[in-house]
Structure 1
């Protein structure tokens, strides 16, 4: 499979062979593997490198002083965990592994070189950051306006499409390696309510969940149930073949992500 970061960035800008070789090099020199439930970076840290997920799933999260917390985003292969720290330096949230994760650390000096001296790479990285912000806005809308049923449908649609962009879907199925408790944190639901919504989705044959694998029999029907408009993911604009164009991703529907523990 193609390098997940290169595959993701080429949704925005066509990268030259030299650009691709450079990205492969800088993301292969500081690789490490961490286990589930380990922190990649914690709130208050001042990391000296930018972290890229090569495999596995992670999440952004914040906690209140009394221990209550929420998942703010799911991070998938090809995602940069802490791009904002290129400028902001100090983490204002935590990033933790949900599964075993393989990470590439890009030293700040190398990342600065990418941003300042390689225009197409920089353009693609900022485009990716803008899509992340758009996803965050959609999650805010989910929590304030969509019903519990719609929220869960919407999240499953989004994860499926994002996995498709980096080649981690197979047909209409994908792995979904998160527990119901984590899905509840991401959707602002209690575990009991989340479980009830999953049972409703199964009864309506909108999803099939088995052995940590999610299958969506009819994606269009699930999108309709979620009031899902994929415009915020900018899937309708394929990257142009020119050296200067920055286009935004196209998303074909497929299925292979990480599984759901039930």
Structure 2
């Protein structure tokens, strides 16, 4: 992503290509999360802290690269709550990444399907049987952590978009998720599609179906809070703010 570029899909790009990018991107993201988790547990079987460091480092780098590569095609949302927030914030011109209302459902569908495919791919690469995870992760603290992690993610993305600093979205999001692995007790899933995908790998990065339900609900709440915070702190996109200042100057 070059300086000054925007992580928005070009209007001329067909929906089919954008959906393919979201499917591949979300799939590879889950493959990175699950695959690095399996590798970490194999390489450092007796050190949970080191396992988490290896998993978080790989995920942060992988996420940043995927956003940088796929942003020009689909916006590289790779996350249903990001797509929902984008649609909501983008109802005003330039307020979001540019997702049309009619594209929201297809985006979410391919993100979830891609996430499941990514988990299966990671299992195959490491010779692990694909099975439903038995890892229970829900607690009061972990649910609060998912609200915080998801709200923060939404604010990071749309604060940068609304202030015209889209060139740093990829590294900023990667850095935020890498940090959130450590400052949240849930290790910051912050993504309903990734959460569903991780159900299908009973490994270090897995999550049980019961826990996944609670995590997804917490993520949706966090996304809503993130949208509110973004709207309060950054009520207008950079273009709209400039137009408002010009109108005010003209009146004055």
More helix by percentage: 2
- Give the TM-score normalised by the residue count of structure 1: 0.30
More strand by percentage: 1
